[in-house]
Amino acid sequence: MERSSIDFNLIAIITITFIFPLAFGFFITNDGIWFTSVTLHTALEASAGIIAIAVATILLAKSKHKREINHYYWSAIALYAMGIFDFLHSLTEPGDLFILLQSLAVFFGGLFSLLVWVPKKTVNHFLFKLIPFIFVSSILFLAVIILLFNYIIPPMREINGEFIPFAIYLNLICGVSFFITAVFFINLYFNKKNKENLLLIG
């Protein structure tokens, strides 16, 4: 009975976070149903960015009392990166900067999420706070540089409308990274029987 419940939870989360978005994206791009709203996009992306930052803060708090660098800790850093770039992305008009910020959001989110595979370790209070500070400061610094010098951003689309290889590779790395990270959380879910780990797959 317990095994059935676990399988149902896993199937549900995979359907919601992977299958449904892929199917929806395929549907709207192949059946001529294309809806564009800058206002709606801004609201959704801004909300996603704020939620990501809020969840990241909560995840860090879960490890704070033990000063333990674990999968919650690294997931928080990944969410901070995604949240910052997503929020900035929501404030831009469609164009090269718009595409670059979105690509960097998923790229850094995916890349940093791979750190969940690093064995957990207890550190002192200073180091526990220093690592996120370095990561977040670096992301903010990069974001500021991009915003200040956005005029040197190369075209992110080819003449035919296709994304340039750079943007494609960033998203490809993101996809592979999140898949590898998902394997970690699925394995952890079956070992620990903790639904929180399953939720982090999404």
What's the mean pLDDT in 19-41? Answer: 60
Radius of gyration for the chain, computed over Cα atoms and rounded to the nearest angstrom: 18
What's the mean pLDDT in 111-118? Answer: 95
Residues 106 and 159 in one domain: yes
Is the confidence at residue 25, as pLDDT, over 60?
A: no
Q: In this predicted structure, which of 31-40, 165-174, 185-194 has the lowest mean pLDDT?
A: 31-40
For residue 193, give its domain range: 38-199
Contacts of 23 (CB under 8 A, 6+ apart): none
Total number of domains in the chain: 2
pTM for this entry:
0.83
Residues 59 and 7 in one domain: no
In 3D space, the residue among 75, 156, 64 whose CA is nearest the CA of residue 112 turns out to be 75
Secondary structure class of 52 (helix, strand, coil):
helix
pLDDT score, position 1: 40
Residues 102 and 157 in one domain: yes
Residues 86 and 15 in one domain: no
Q: What is the DSSP string of 95-129?
A: SHHHHHHHHHHHHHHHHHHGGGGSPPEE--HHHHH
Residues 31 and 47 in one domain: no
Residue 118's pLDDT band (cuts 50, 70, 90): very high
Q: What is the pLDDT of residues 68-96, one digit of tens each?
A: 899 999 999 999 999 999 999 988 888 89
What's the mean pLDDT in 144-157? Answer: 92
Residues 52 and 143 in one domain: yes
* Bigger pLDDT: 150 vs 28: 150
Residues 1 and 62 in one domain: no
pLDDT score, position 165: 92
Residues 161 and 175 in one domain: yes
Instruction: Please give the C-alpha separations between residue 24 and each of 13, 83, 86, 105, in angstroms, as whole numbers.
Output: 16, 23, 21, 21
Residues 108 and 15 in one domain: no
Residues 131 and 86 in one domain: yes
Residues 31 and 45 in one domain: no
Residues 26 and 87 in one domain: no
